[in-house]
Amino acid sequence: MTIRLAKPEEHRQIYHWWKDIFAFDDGGHIDYYFATYVPKAILYVLVDEHDELLCALNVHLKTLVINEAKFQTSFIVGIFTPPKHRHQGYMHKLLSGVLDERSHTDLFTLIQAYEPGIYAPFGFVDLYARRQFILDAKHIPVLSSQGVTYEPDPIAMTALYHRFTSHFNAYAHRQVTDMSDLIGEVKAQQGRIISVGSGADLSAYAFIFPHGTHIEIDEIVYTDAKALLQILSTLLASSPKVLLKVSQAEDLTKLFPKAPMERVPYTALRINNLDLFNTHFKVSATNTTAALVAFKRPVWFRENQ
């Protein structure tokens, strides 16, 4: 068996596998992902002696900011094995090989982890979780919708994102092109962008997705509680419930003391070279869990590709 990069002519087969395996989480995302993100991704595959694809994963290169320093970081998504090749250890072999290769270029590797500890055998530690609040009209005061718009401005949104993430110790750096891609991704999934204010006065934006029984807020960035509440009040004027997803560090229980809330794992981290980490951050951590204690402020990481 061999680990190699996917050939351009294999992308179509991988796309069809994604459409089958990840159909539960598609909603228009897969077509947009393959058109917009795959050309910039690194697609690894494991093949047998006949060069047949056994499993695959994608690596996206992100700029991770930690303690105000920027690091190229590999972000692994889309791990899958076709049904006929499952339960034979192929994914373990592929992931181990890719991690070994990325460890020579990236200090950190991130991976989506919806189940706590699932990638612990590979050295990953849960880094980032989200708080999910279920809100209805009794939890939110009625506020004016003046200044609320559904016309996204990627430049203003990027500037607001930078102000917002400056309160966190680790986050993904975004450029205007990244924000434009995210706006396109939201629209491809029949979502919308709602914001408060405009230009330099933009005080909040949110990625929202309407469902039959509620509106989901998958990302929200804001300057203060008033801007946050104004978006929630506007959405609850047209929907009985809002599912609000924020970082674990955003303790909004004082704002919504009676709202149901759960913590959901989202992203796990692997430090590929602990000695280099210790040297750079001037700490003496013995493992990744101990190293995370060195982060003096909270983490914000909503990326999913």
Distance CA 273, CA 276 (A): 5
Distance CA 93, CA 255 (A): 47
* Mean pLDDT per 10-residue section of the chain, whose length is 305 residues: 92 88 74 90 94 93 92 93 89 95 95 80 90 93 88 96 94 96 94 95 97 95 95 94 95 92 92 92 87 78 86
Query: What pLDDT, on a 0 to 100 scale, did the predictor assign at position 288?
Result: 85
Distance CA 157, CA 153 (A): 6
Query: What pLDDT, on a 0 to 100 scale, did the predictor assign at position 65?
Result: 94
Name the residue range of residue 197's domain.
131-263
Same domain? 144 vs 258: yes
Same domain? 273 vs 125: yes
Instruction: Quote the DSSP letter at residue 303.
Output: -
Q: What is the Cβ-side half-sphere exposure of residue 77, based on CA atoms within 13 angstroms?
A: 19
Query: What pLDDT, on a 0 to 100 scale, did the predictor assign at position 296?
Result: 63
Same domain? 107 vs 140: no
Same domain? 116 vs 155: no
Distance CA 199, CA 207 (A): 18
Same domain? 243 vs 228: yes
Confirm whether 305 is domain-assigned. Answer: no
Confirm whether 251 is domain-assigned. Answer: yes
Same domain? 280 vs 180: no
Distance CA 208, CA 190 (A): 9
Same domain? 208 vs 285: no
Same domain? 124 vs 272: yes
> Quick one: how far is CA 281 from the chain centroid?
25
3 state SS of 120: helix
Residue 299 Cα distances to 148, 229, 275, angstroms: 28, 22, 22
Same domain? 235 vs 201: yes
Confirm whether 125 is domain-assigned. Answer: yes
DSSP-assigned beta bridge partners for residue 269: 110, 125
Distance CA 213, CA 209 (A): 11
Paired tokens of 4: 């190699």
Confirm whether 189 is domain-assigned. Answer: yes
Same domain? 279 vs 216: no
Q: What is the CATH number of the domain that holds 170?
A: 3.40.630.30
Amino acid in the structure at residue 54: L
> Structurally, how many domains does the chain consist of?
2
DSSP-assigned beta bridge partners for residue 222: 204
Same domain? 203 vs 241: yes
Distance CA 204, CA 189 (A): 21
Query: What pLDDT, on a 0 to 100 scale, did the predictor assign at position 305?
Result: 79
Residue 45 sits at φ, ψ, to 5 deg, of: -135, 155
Residues whose CB falls within 8 Å of the CB of residue 139, separated by 6 or more in sequence, listed in order: 256, 258, 259
Confirm whether 13 is domain-assigned. Answer: yes
Same domain? 137 vs 249: yes
